[in-house]
Amino acid sequence: MAEAPILRASWALTPPYDAKDGRLFRQPHESLNAARHRVIAMKVAAMLEPLDGLPVSAYERDVLSWVGSWETHTIAVFAALLRRARQAPPA
């Protein structure tokens, strides 16, 4: 089943977007720096998942890491668009 478009700012990187994903917030045992790095890694993974099987250069990964510092709702939209594009039949 195809993923539906995101209609408003999301609380998660994957469906259901309106459910708050607690993993995207600092955990009680984490320093701010550790939480930031962990969340960026989650965001990068969400964008890389639909690219599975495609070559991704080190430079492209660096750019995704930079984009990963953007807000969760922005990354969710990018990742959702990539997933839907990958699922779409060829034009």
pTM of the model: 0.89
Q: What is the pLDDT of residue 26?
A: 96
What pLDDT does 1 receive?
A: 58
| Structure confidence at residue 78 (pLDDT) | 95
Contact of 75 with 46, CB cutoff 8 Å: yes
Ranges in the chain, pLDDT < 50: none
CA dihedral 35, 37, 39, 43 (to 10 degrees): 180
- Check residue 90 and give its pLDDT: 84
pLDDT on residue 24: 95
Q: What share of the chain is helix, strand, coil (3-state, %, to 5)?
A: 55, 0, 45
